[in-house]
A and B are shown apart, each in its own frame.
Chain A
Amino acid sequence: MNDSRTDSVLSTQHLGKTIGGRAILSDISVSLDRGDVVGVIGKNGAGKTTLLETVLGFSPATAGSSQIYGHDSFMLPAAVKSRVGFVPQQDDLMGMLTGKQQLGLVAALYGGWDSGLIDRLAGEWEVPLQQRIATLSGGERQKLSTLLALGHRPDLLVLDEPVSSLDPIARRRFLQQILEYTADQQRTVLFSSHIVSDLERVANRIWIIRDGQMIWQGDLDALKESVVRLHVRASQPLPASLDIPHTLFEQVTGTSAVVAVSHWEQSDPAAVSRRLNADIEVEALGLEDIFLELNR
């Protein structure tokens, strides 16, 4: 196990990225601790890929700063780079090589390549390593890219949409592997996905990006206790706006209303009920519904 002086794996301070006058990311301050499995969600174009690529130092930030294992992202020493594995959304595999040849090329770049792990996973994931990469399916390419990023057993694994081409069985195997990889609480995984149910399963923390801003970061459990939908019913007509703090969305129709709120764990349901002279039923929301409410 690598010696880690600090539990802070990755952090950013007011990170911003402007490309051609357009702000892709603004004022992002996040941190990642050892053992975390963090899921990043956001609509298409929200800035997920730019965030991952900027914190990994592929291109410089235009505002703020970010560090990996305490080193500036854009000037990572080789020793730190070798502790990071990345699976990009668009793979950069070489079509004319076989999977085995490509693995051999990458393995030669690193010390301590774990061919035992890679052979085992290639078997479990049914990746045809003897075939030319050009002939592989989208799902097989995705699995091969993940093997390439795992072979040097990175302490931080970053994956951009790693499962988009995988079938449900392959996705489940992949998630099991992620958990196995972090089971000793020494390694850290950061991954973006549109498949919210996957994140809901394995992530302990969630980052939600909207229009280049981080609108939520924290424990998945806390998120579920924070964002809820209220079903309000009164015997008299309700006001046009119920004025409930942290309202994300409200729809009032006569004597009933549906209101999505955040920070519900800080509120006093009985007081709200008394003020409105109405019954309030609280509907707990799954991550997909929470994401939709936060993006209305």
Chain B
Amino acid sequence: MFILKPELGIPIYRQLIDQVRRMVASGQLAPGTVLPSVRELADAHTVHPMTISKAYSQLEAEGLLERNRGKPMTVASSQKPQAGIAPRLKQIEPQVEQLVLASRQLDLREKDVTGLIKRKWEQDHE
């Protein structure tokens, strides 16, 4: 369900927070969806459970997730998928910034890069 890479410079709990945020924004995680327990995720990825619970607690504090006593963590019922394109675009902005930066370092033109994006996009949907 999630892709966690311990070897990255971004702490594991941050990686999890970012992914849950994106999936809630897109509606892939709909309101009421039950998330794996801390234990299940920690086991599946062989990471310390505190790492997972730290991410869940932060998302709960932000109101993205909710947990009723004795129940598993779920996507908060108040979380509507972000219908407009703008808030979802905002989620992907950091990756685009990285892409633009790397492209400039390689001295690539905008149309070459957008052309590549287009080709990759179509490949994935073939």
Contacts and interface: CB of A to CB of B under 8 A. Distances in A.
Interface of A: 35, 37, 172, 175-176, 179-180, 182-183, 185, 197, 200-204, 220-221, 224-225, 228, 281, 283-289
Nearest to A180: B43
A176 B46 contact: yes
Interface residues of B, number: 21
A197 B46 CA distance: 12
B9 A197 contact: no
B8 A284 contact: yes
Interface of B: 6-14, 39, 42-43, 45-51, 54, 101
Contact of A225 (B11, B42, B54): B11
Contact of A172 (B6, B13, B46, B48): B46
The A contact surface, by secondary structure, is helix
Which of B9, B10, B46, B49 gathers most chain A CB within 10 Å? Answer: B9
Contacts of B6: 197, 200-201
Given A204-B51, A221-B54, A281-B101, A179 B46 contact: yes
A220 B50 CA distance: 11
Given A183-B39, A221-B11, A286-B9, 10 more contacts: A172-B46, A175-B46, A183-B49, A201-B6, A202-B47, A203-B48, A221-B13, A224-B10, A225-B11, A281-B101
A176 B46 CA distance: 6
A284 B9 contact: yes
A204 B12 CA distance: 11
B99 to A, nearest CB: 13
